[in-house]
Amino acid sequence: MELILISDSKLKIMLTRDDMQQYALNCDTIDYDNTETRRAFWSILDEAKHRTGFDAAAERVFVQLYPSKEGGCEMYVTKLGFDEGRAQRALLPGGASKRGVLRSRICAYRFACLDDLVTVCRRLRLLPASPPSSVWRDDEGGWHLILDETDAAPAPLSFLCEFGDAEDAGRLSMYIAEHGICVRQGDAAKVLGAL
């Protein structure tokens, strides 16, 4: 197993075919609802904590898994931040929550200019329940807003498409980790909306 700490909030884990067998993981059938899969996942993260200091135990995480040709896989684990009242919930693929209490989905938008992003953040800031958010800037000068929407506090976010382009959050997280910089995480809409 090879671990690469990309940032304080993102870790890349490369598992070989042998690692996959050791943890009894199969990319084609992996299911976080399975107890053995959860146990393997947290064993891997415990090892990562000991070797790199990357501690995701108290935070929500977003996990992306990509099979490799050699039978192993690449796993990207992104800490989404601590959120009071939901600290025990871990975000999983497909929008299910670890405990099944809340459902969540990550959505992302790209903005050509900072002015459009700030305008959106001002509107988000005025919502009664503004979703957790982060803002990134890519190498090409584009701005990206990533939101965590929950069913428990749905927000009318259709206006975002007036100012930016919707993106695939999974693909963006891989791209932005290598070709961008995090400007603000957790409460980005609140902070940028105050500008």
Is residue 109 within 8 Å of residue 117, measured between CB atoms? Answer: no
Domain spans of the chain, in order of start: 2-95, 104-193
- Closest by CA to 7, choosing from 56, 43, 44, 40, is 56
Angle at 34 between CA 20 and CA 1, to 5 degrees: 20
Question: Is the confidence at residue 123, as pLDDT, over 60?
Answer: yes
Per the model's pLDDT, the better-predicted residue between 82 and 194 turns out to be 194
Per the model's pLDDT, the better-predicted residue between 65 and 44 turns out to be 44
Question: Is the confidence at residue 66, as pLDDT, over 80?
Answer: yes
Please tell me the predicted confidence (pLDDT) of residue 149: 62
What H or E segment, with its residue span, contains residue 79?
A: strand 73-81
State the CATH class of domain 104-193.
Answer: alpha beta
Please tell me the predicted confidence (pLDDT) of residue 156: 59
- The burial of 104, by beta-carbon neighbours within 10 Å (0-12 exposed, 13-18 middle, 19 or more buried), is given as buried
Per the model's pLDDT, the better-predicted residue between 97 and 3 turns out to be 3
- Give the range with max mean pLDDT: 20-29, 58-67, 104-113, 156-165: 20-29
Question: Is the confidence at residue 92, as pLDDT, over 70?
Answer: no
For the entire predicted model, the pTM comes to 0.45
pLDDT tens digit sequence for 15-36? 999 999 999 888 877 877 778 8
Please tell me the predicted confidence (pLDDT) of residue 81: 61
Question: Is the confidence at residue 88, as pLDDT, over 80?
Answer: no
pLDDT tens digit sequence for 137-182? 888 888 888 887 644 344 456 677 778 888 877 777 777 777 788 8
